[in-house]
Copies of this chain bind each other. A is one copy, B any other.
Amino acid sequence: VSEFSHEHLVQLYETDLMGIVHHANYLRFLEESRVAWATNKGLLDYQKIESASHLAVYGSEVRHIQPAFFGDRLRTFVQAKIKGVKIIFEYKTFCINRDQTKSDVLVLEGRTTHVPLNKELKLIRPPIEMKKIMENEKWIETWLLNL
């Protein structure tokens, strides 16, 4: 379905005393995927971020299906759409090839909603090029099965 995906290798500093990835870190991995997606679409130029608008997080929902461990390769698939001033991202994160097994394990499903803010943290309209790209993205309503 979603063509775009981004991989994150779980670091020691992302685990907690239960030996698994601490749940707050997943929002970081989702941001990483979102930034990679935007870079891939030509929407993000790191070197101009200071002058650019910013997609503030308005809401987030995460459903954890399986824990992830140090050294796991987590691959996150992304879909995005625009709806008025809101930009919505959905994510599925899989653990790839743990224990050399072939089947990937669904680790989480997530959704984040964003609004564009300027540098003074005031709400602005989504930039036109962002709107154009977003409107051409494939979006499947029933993509997330657990959220």
Question: Which residues does A use to contact B, with CB under 8 Å?
Answer: 11-13, 15-20, 22-25, 27-28, 31-32, 35, 46-47, 49-50, 54, 56-64, 67, 69-72, 98-99, 117, 119, 121, 147
With a cutoff of 8 Å between Cβ atoms, the chain B residues found around residue A23 in the complex are: 27, 57, 60
B11 touches A28 (CB 8 A): yes
Task: Give the most central of A69, A98, A147: most B CB within 10 Å.
Answer: A69
Residues in B neighbouring A16, C-beta threshold 8 A: 12-13, 15-17
> How far apart are A67's CB and chain B's nearest CB, in angstroms?
6
Q: Which residue of B lies closest to A146 (CB)?
A: B59
Tell me the bound Cα distance from A56 to B37 in angstroms: 29
Are A71 and B99 touching (Cβ within 8 A)?
Answer: no
Q: Are A46 and B70 in contact (CB under 8 A)?
A: yes
How far is the CB of A58 from the nearest CB of chain B, in Å? 6
CA gap between A20 and B121 in the complex, in Å: 9
Q: What residues of chain B lie closer than 8 Å to A57, measured between beta carbons? A: 23, 64
Q: Is the CB of A31 within 8 A of B59?
A: no
Q: Is the CB of B58 within 8 A of A31?
A: no
